[in-house]
Amino acid sequence: MKYFVGLWFLGFTAVGVCAGCNPAADYALVGSAYVPAAHGDITLEKIDKEQMLLNITMDHLPPPGDIEAGMTHYVVWLAAVGELPMPKGTLDYDAETRVGSAAIATSMRELDVQITAEPSESPTQPSDLLVASQKIREK
């Protein structure tokens, strides 16, 4: 019995320690066919009663021009459910580490997030070069 309790405690401790090693992201991002190796996450942080901060990180992103000639930025689009997407910023992209990140505040609780490769940092509509997308549904 003492041996069994010791094993149970050891297993419980190992699970507890590993759970804190790499907490799960609120929402996963998986690269599209244009960038199949890319992946990342969106974590949410409440700013106040009305606003939340979307912290977006994508790893293994090639330079936008590698996806298609003339592309220079990764743009983040947000859309309320059933609405057209609006550009909300660009990923801060580091070509050396191939990581892109952004922090975007929004009051929307149910929204669609899209990341596209674009020829400028302020396009009026998303290109067809979808890098990743995710639906966020927070109550």
Provide the 10 A C-beta neighbour count for residue 87.
19
pLDDT at 24: 42
Whether 72 contacts 101, CB under 8 Å: no
**What is the mean pLDDT of the segment spanning 21-25?**
44
pLDDT of res. 99: 98
Structural domain count of the chain: 1
* Predicted confidence (pLDDT) per residue in 43-86, tens digit: 999 989 899 999 999 999 999 999 999 999 999 999 998 899 99
Residue 18 lies in a domain: no
Q: Residue 90 falls within a domain, yes or no?
A: yes
Strand extents, DSSP E, the chain: 27-30, 39-46, 52-59, 73-80, 86-90, 92-94, 99-106, 110-118, 130-137
Q: Which domain holds residue 51?
A: 24-137
Both tokens of 131, joined, read 């890098």
Domain of 133, CATH number, reads: 2.60.40
Q: Which of 4-8, 15-19, 124-128 has the highest mean pLDDT?
A: 124-128
State how far the Cα of 64 lies from the Cα of 60, in Å rounded to an integer.
12
Say if residues 46 and 52 touch (Cβ distance below 8 Å). Answer: yes
Q: What is the pTM of this model?
A: 0.81
Q: In angstroms, rounded to a whole number, what is the distance separating the alpha carbons of residues 104 and 43?
A: 11
85-139 tens-digit pLDDT:
999 999 999 999 999 999 999 999 999 999 999 999 999 999 999 999 999 998 7
